[in-house]
Chains A and B, each alone.
Chain A
């Protein structure tokens, strides 16, 4: 009970700081926004990667799909500007405030739904397989999506698309709006996932992680749980993608939407760094990795990628269970020693 209260106090404090942070760092609002983005990426990856033990290298697919679906809805919902331009990638629609937010909301939601449908369809095909085979099957997903998108003129092909310009007549600027929007999505994701992990569903995911044969022999339809878990992740990842496309202002299949080497790898490393299979691990990992990345980028110039790679290497070799995994294990060890003492 005491621990619970402490944790809640900690959460309230964190939220209070987050709510006022933009006022103290007005020049770094977008950077702060990305911390929330990273937290969402890490949390969603961990539902399958950590809680279920199914490593996915392809979650970036849902991120990019959310981004593209949203951008298309934003472009086409209130204007048919497409035919006036030669190249789709040069289309910039200008919307008034209500059009902007309505198309953003509809676009984000549509992107999330499409991502869920994809997760269900793909999952039915490859989540029947066991961990390693699944992991291999997901390897090419992001790349394939980038290739396909690059060939579709309607989506701007290889040059990508431009997202609508944020309406200028508003009280809250673009940076502030997206900061609070992502804050809200990240918090929703966190609390929802925490509730899920404390539920029967969450324990079923853990059972699959620990011994899938046993779970099956006990009558659990394991594939259905895995698909459901992946779909929930896809939903929130797509929302993140939709938002990021608008924060950046343009989207591109290889470098942004389906970018395996950046967002795709980061989500995995962040979850592992913080401690996969825990609720706080991905949050912690996201904050640490993103801060490290930004610091390296600022101070190490050309060497930032090397430094980041080194950090990842150290984590994987010395902290394979991540920061929280390390502490959790120690706590469990002392539990077990205590109970053995209690017996004798």
Chain B
């Protein structure tokens, strides 16, 4: 069964039509990519999926459940998390605190007035080491570089043990020497933790290395989809990128 399926979603902001009749499916356990020129409606689609704004029409199914009218925290708690293109972290809190608060604190209301458990702290250290931020753990997240904040945000999402992770341009702004390492980690997360990934990526090389299936958006519509080599050789895709 498809873990996530988006059926004919439309979304406009006042006069700006950002998504027109967009559909896509993400099978469980896979890595799926979304590409498209700037302003083609990729982030808008993410916002629609996670409940950031109401959609104008269409359906969104997650694990067989219609979620298009659920609020953000509820969808998150179903196991679908997203990271932001412009990083969203808790700037005045340390990296460790950013990670701790990303654990499932609502799981047990009675313990919410306790400090974090040893298990959580172990997981925090492990994941900070995983993304290479262990040395920075006592720093305020707001003092990290943009790329480091992206890594932190990724690690924070992993704290929640999501079923699916929606990553909005995870390599944008990351130091080029770190990008290959990040691709490896994304593969690792997918294979070892079984987390399904839906990745918006501007960098063609990255998405070709990462995704098994790629969707291409242009001007708000779904232009094409297919395997990486199919997309790479699709004339419409090439035109959309060159024409931009």
Asked if A209 lies at the interface with its beta carbon under 8 angstroms from chain B, I say: yes
Asked if A214 lies at the interface with its beta carbon under 8 angstroms from chain B, I say: yes
Q: Interface size class for chain B? A: 35 or more
Q: Is the CB of A207 within 8 A of B135?
A: no
Asked if A97 lies at the interface with its beta carbon under 8 angstroms from chain B, I say: no
Q: A199-B114, A210-B90, A336-B140 are in contact. Are A217 and B50 (CB under 8 A)?
A: yes
Asked if A196 lies at the interface with its beta carbon under 8 angstroms from chain B, I say: yes
Say whether chain B's binding surface is mostly helix, strand, loop, or mixed: loop
Q: Is the CB of A211 within 8 A of B73?
A: no
- Interface with B: A23-31, A218-226, A256-264, which one? A218-226
Asked if A198 lies at the interface with its beta carbon under 8 angstroms from chain B, I say: yes
Which partner residue on chain A sits nearest B78 by CB separation?
Answer: A219
- Give the number of A-B contacts (CB < 8 Å): 99
Asked if B106 lies at the interface with its beta carbon under 8 angstroms from chain A, I say: yes
Residues of chain A lying within 8 A (CB to CB) of residue B50: 217
Q: Is the CB of A203 within 8 A of B93?
A: yes
Q: A218-B102, A221-B73, A335-B139 are in contact. Are A201 and B112 (CB under 8 A)?
A: yes
Q: Select which of A209, A222, A339 is within 8 A of B139 by beta carbon.
A: A339
Asked if A141 lies at the interface with its beta carbon under 8 angstroms from chain B, I say: no
Asked if A291 lies at the interface with its beta carbon under 8 angstroms from chain B, I say: no
Alpha-carbon gap, A118 to B138, bound state (A): 39
Alpha-carbon gap, A30 to B135, bound state (A): 52
Alpha-carbon gap, A195 to B160, bound state (A): 25
Residues of chain B lying within 8 A (CB to CB) of residue A196: 113
Q: Is the CB of B138 within 8 A of A218?
A: no
Q: Is the CB of B88 within 8 A of A214?
A: yes
B117 to chain A, nearest CB (A): 9
Asked if B155 lies at the interface with its beta carbon under 8 angstroms from chain A, I say: no
Which partner residue on chain B sits nearest A198 by CB separation?
Answer: B115
Q: Is the CB of B139 within 8 A of A206?
A: no
Q: Is the CB of B139 within 8 A of A220?
A: no
Interface 1/0s, chain A 182-213, versus B by CB < 8 A? Answer: 00000000000001101111011011011101
**Which residues of B, 20-55, contact A by the 8 Å Cβ criterion?**
50, 52
Q: Is the CB of B88 within 8 A of A213?
A: yes
Q: Is the CB of B113 within 8 A of A201?
A: yes
Asked if A343 lies at the interface with its beta carbon under 8 angstroms from chain B, I say: yes
A to B CB contacts below 8 Å, 15 in the list = A199-B114, A199-B115, A203-B105, A206-B90, A207-B101, A210-B89, A211-B91, A214-B89, A215-B101, A217-B50, A217-B84, A218-B102, A219-B77, A220-B106, A336-B139
